[in-house]
């Protein structure tokens, strides 16, 4: 199928198919966010969709993407102090995958920044707003904020990408984050996914940090990988 716009802003022209193993797979066009006279949209990662036992739609990146990983780095469990940002000195890159499990604790907002310059002038912020989830069954909200992503003049300003995500009382936030130069895709708990374009102008905008606001959160685990290129002519850029 191939029809119309889809929810959450940055995606359009969805196409879906069933593969030989019976999986429902989808792929999208991701909108450009710079001034351009040419057609230069980019495709999203292929996603696997399925219906869970509770009849909710689930989604995840296809496992074949794990074959592109190399140079794994793991961080131990640690507290993310309230109202702090912790720069991860050993985790960086503009073509990386990050898998993180974070317990909300008392934090009202927590998450990671990617494509961060050392001084923080450029950064893209991935947040979960736990404070919006309450006893009235309002969900929490997952967000990608690109308002500080670039100092370049030709990058369009746009509101953050947001999507609802309700966590159970004892459920941690499980993020899989894919950064590939100008595209960021965030999968959360197999129930939400956000995608947008970001265009850092500085070569050193490759850092990653953890943060928490309003209370402490707990990092249960974090693994990061550099990602291989599927294009032979771009092999020299791997690991950057």
C-alpha 228/C-alpha 236 separation (Å) is 10
Q: Are residues 151 and 207 in the same domain?
A: yes
Q: Which residues contact 203 (CB under 8 A, 6 or more apart)?
A: none
Question: What is the domain range of residue 55?
Answer: 11-61
Residue 136: its pLDDT value, please?
A: 60
| Residue 118 placed within a domain | yes
Q: Are residues 56 and 91 in the same domain?
A: no
Residue 108: its pLDDT value, please?
A: 95
Residue 139: its pLDDT value, please?
A: 81
Residue 37: its pLDDT value, please?
A: 52
Q: Are residues 103 and 22 in the same domain?
A: no
Q: Are residues 228 and 171 in the same domain?
A: yes
Q: Are residues 103 and 191 in the same domain?
A: yes
What domain count does the chain have? Answer: 2
Residue 1: its pLDDT value, please?
A: 36
Is 49:57 a contact under the CB 8 Å cutoff? yes
- Given 24, 39, 61, the domain boundary residue is 61
Residue 210: its pLDDT value, please?
A: 99
HSE of 60, CA atoms in CB hemisphere, 13 A: 15
CATH number for position 79: 2.60.120.560
Residue 239: count other Cβ atoms within 10 Å of its Cβ.
Answer: 13
Q: What is the mean pLDDT of the chain?
A: 91
Residue 9: its pLDDT value, please?
A: 55
Q: Are residues 123 and 173 in the same domain?
A: yes
Q: Are residues 224 and 113 in the same domain?
A: yes
pLDDT < 70: residue spans in the chain: 1-9, 35-40, 134-137
Residue 71: its pLDDT value, please?
A: 96
């Amino acid at each position: 199928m191939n029809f119309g716009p889809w929810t959450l802003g940055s995606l359009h022209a969805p196409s879906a198919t069933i593969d030989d193993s019976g999986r429902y797979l989808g792929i999208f066009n991701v909108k450009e966010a710079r001034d351009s006279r040419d057609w230069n949209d980019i495709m999203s990662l292929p996603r696997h969709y399925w219906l869970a036992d509770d009849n909710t739609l689930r989604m995840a990146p296809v496992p074949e993407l794990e074959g592109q990983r190399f140079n794994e780095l793991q961080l131990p469990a640690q507290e993310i102090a309230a109202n702090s940002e912790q720069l991860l000195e050993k985790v960086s890159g503009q073509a990386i995958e990050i898998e993180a499990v974070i317990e909300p604790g008392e934090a009202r907002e927590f998450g990671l920044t990617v494509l961060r310059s050392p001084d923080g002038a450029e950064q893209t912020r991935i947040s979960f707003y736990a404070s919006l989830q309450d006893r009235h069954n309002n969900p929490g909200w997952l967000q990608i904020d690109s308002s500080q992503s670039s100092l370049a003049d030709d990058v369009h300003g746009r509101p953050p990408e947001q999507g609802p995500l309700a966590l159970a009382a004892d459920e941690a936030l499980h993020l899989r984050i894919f950064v590939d130069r100008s595209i960021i895709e965030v999968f959360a708990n197999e129930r939400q996914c956000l995608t947008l374009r970001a265009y850092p102008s500085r070569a050193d905008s490759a850092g990653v940090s953890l943060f928490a606001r309003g209370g402490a959160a707990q990092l249960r685990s974090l693994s990061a990988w550099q990602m291989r290129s599927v294009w032979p002519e771009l092999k020299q850029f791997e690991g950057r």
